[in-house]
Amino acid sequence: MRQITVTEFVTLDGVMEDPGGAEGSPFGGWAFKFDRGDAGNRFKLEELMAADAQLLGRKTYEGFAKAWPSMTDEQGFAEKMNGMPKYVVSSTLTEPTWNNTTVIGLEDVEGLDGNLLVAGSHQLVQALLERRLVDRVRLVLYPTAVGDGKKLFDAPADFELVSAEPSAQVVLLEYAR
């Protein structure tokens, strides 16, 4: 059985674009201004450890593939990121460099099994939402509004609140379809 979980850092005004500042947008880097706390770190670690594979768009994949292979940590986050299967939905990526990566088409997503975790990947998330393939949405809500940028939801979508927990300066939210 397949379950697709979208996980995002998001601002109060719904922007998910460039939380770390690596994309060079004029409003990027907003996530580093705030402490997500121990519960926030646990939230991110637990969702990754529960995932069987990552499902990524090309742009997010390229950023991750550039950063993660050289990372290490004591919690096992980097080891899991680097070791798990990764499916990249792309029509332009031909030779992935990050280990355990398979390039697929959007039409192949429905044939995948397991718990799939989607981070970033704005264009892919919009396509998955449009096709009603997203089962869960996990958000780290940051107390800032940037006014411009790619929004998490470009179209209507309904979800049910599963949990909400404050952690340091953020709120950890989980929704299910």
- All structural domains of the chain, each given as residue ranges with its CATH number in brackets, are 2-20+27-171 (3.40.430.10)
Residue 167 backbone zone (phi > 0: left; psi -120 to 50: alpha; other: beta): beta
Residues in CB range of 70: below 8 A, 6 or more apart:
none
Q: Which percentage of the chain shows pLDDT scores above 70?
A: 100
Contact (CB, 8 A) for 118 and 56: yes
Distance in angstroms (rounded) separating the CA atoms of residues 120 and 146: 17
Which carries the bigger pLDDT value, residue 1 or residue 6?
6
- Is 0.85 surpassed by the pTM of this model? yes
Give the phi and the psi of residue 80 in degrees, each rounded to 5. -65, -45
CB half-sphere exposure, 28, CA atoms < 13 A: 9
Residues in CB range of 128: below 8 A, 6 or more apart:
4, 6, 109, 118, 134
pLDDT of residue 74: 87
pLDDT band of residue 18 (cuts 50, 70, 90) is very high
